[in-house]
Amino acid sequence: MSMELKKAIDQISKDRGLDRALLIETLEEAVRTSVIRKYGDELDLEVNFNEETGEIEVYQFKIVTEEVEDEASQISLEDARAHDPSVQLDDEMGFRLKIEDLGRIAAQSAKQVIIQRMRDAEQEIIYEEFKDRLNEVASGIIQRRDKTGWIINLGRTEALLPKDEQIPREHYKRGDRVQAIIIEVRKEGRGPQVVVSRSHPDYMAALFKREVPEVDDETVQVMGVARDPGSRAKVAVTSRDRDVDPVGACVGIRGSRIQNIVQELRGERIDIVVWSPDIATYARNALSPAVISRIIVDEEENMLEVVVPDDQLTNAIGRKGQNVKLASKLLGWKIDIYTETRYNEANAIGRGLEQLASVAEVPIEQFVAAGFSSIEELRDATDEELMAVEGLTPGKISDLRAAINFLAPVQRNAEDGEEEEAADGENAE
């Protein structure tokens, strides 16, 4: 029977990949717990697994005293010398306990402790294994639906594919094989919780690494990914080798490589963008297929003003704003799109305000803060309203009105002309 225990330890260690020393330690602790439950925690115990005999040995230790006040921890000198004639006062003596006498309940308790400790040890091994596999693509079988998502059997453990990490409109059923990227490993009471994703940008990057050898060996680098999962994505790539075209490498012969990725993502359209350290060039590439007239860069605000021909506005913005949204996400910059007509009109007003601000020697921001955004608003304002502009004085207001009369006569003349034409028409009638 004793050697069967040793064989059982060896077999469990081999089958479950558990450390043998940890198993023995767990077994010893389980027996200690059972003895304490039966005899009380006052006992001074030592529990050891004997490798030679394959038995668990339990020893109770007592102090030799003249008078015994606590039988659980003391033994009289007379009784002690019956076991060992050479014993002296204050010596410590060990007596072997028969664990066979623990009884059925204690044995069951020991079994439960062993099972729990083995489960804990196994879960710890799984946690250590999967926490080192973050950002790795894992494959498994759909097991069941959970209130928070789908449970996937990965073999040694289960993973959760949350609803918000799924590709929209993608449906599963029990037994389907699915792959996803590991994004988190949580240490929870019922064991490690592996969380996977199919909508994460890193999943697409991992697929490119798997399908494109040049990405795997880092000749081509994926610099960024922006996704609208299940619909469209933009992937920025660059090459470390001048002779290697990063876009061609990712597309493959007749689109074979990119098609494998598109198929895995259920038809998600992928735009491959050439990355550039120059943000304006990078933005032009990211907003493709739209034609760009010019780009104004505001580095302080991380903002781009993109001007496109009037007939390119739809291409630049994309359906439901998808093209500009993905480009903005890819660059990490805010992007405002203007048609050439709208931009020129807005700039004409802006230039007029800048000239007036220069004459008044007041920053244009002060006019805007006071609520003035056009020459007409300044022209129609009273002196009291103009005094709301920080930095304006009565003398500067006079200079400002002179400048307004100089800049706006054409518009007034045009309006006067329209009025005259209207009057002539009435007279003719």
Condensed to tens digits (0 to 9), the pLDDT of residues 67-95 reads 888 877 888 888 888 888 888 888 888 88
Condensed to tens digits (0 to 9), the pLDDT of residues 291-302 reads 999 999 999 999
- CATH 3.30.1480.10 domain position(s) in the chain: 2-127
pLDDT value at residue 129: 81
- pTM for this one? 0.61
Per the structure block, which two tokens stand in for 339? 């048609």
Asked if the model's pLDDT at residue 424 lies above 60, the reply is no
Check whether the bond before 289 is cis (ω within 30° of 0): yes
Condensed to tens digits (0 to 9), the pLDDT of residues 155-177 reads 878 899 999 999 988 888 899 99
Q: Enumerate residues 6+ apart whose C-beta is below 8 A from 171.
A: none
Q: Enumerate residues 6+ apart whose C-beta is below 8 A from 312.
A: 290, 291, 292
Whether domain 214-275 has CATH 3.30.300.20: yes
- CATH 1.10.150.20 domain position(s) in the chain: 342-414
- CATH 2.40.50.140 domain position(s) in the chain: 134-197
Q: CATH assignment of 134-197, given 2.60.120.330, 2.40.50.140, 3.40.50.620, 3.30.420.40?
A: 2.40.50.140
Whether domain 2-127 has CATH 3.30.1480.10: yes
Question: Which pLDDT band, with edges at 50, 70 and 90, does 238 fall under?
Answer: very high
Angle CA(103)–CA(108)–CA(112) in degrees, nearest 5?
Answer: 150
> Element (H or E) spanning 10, and its range?
helix 2-16
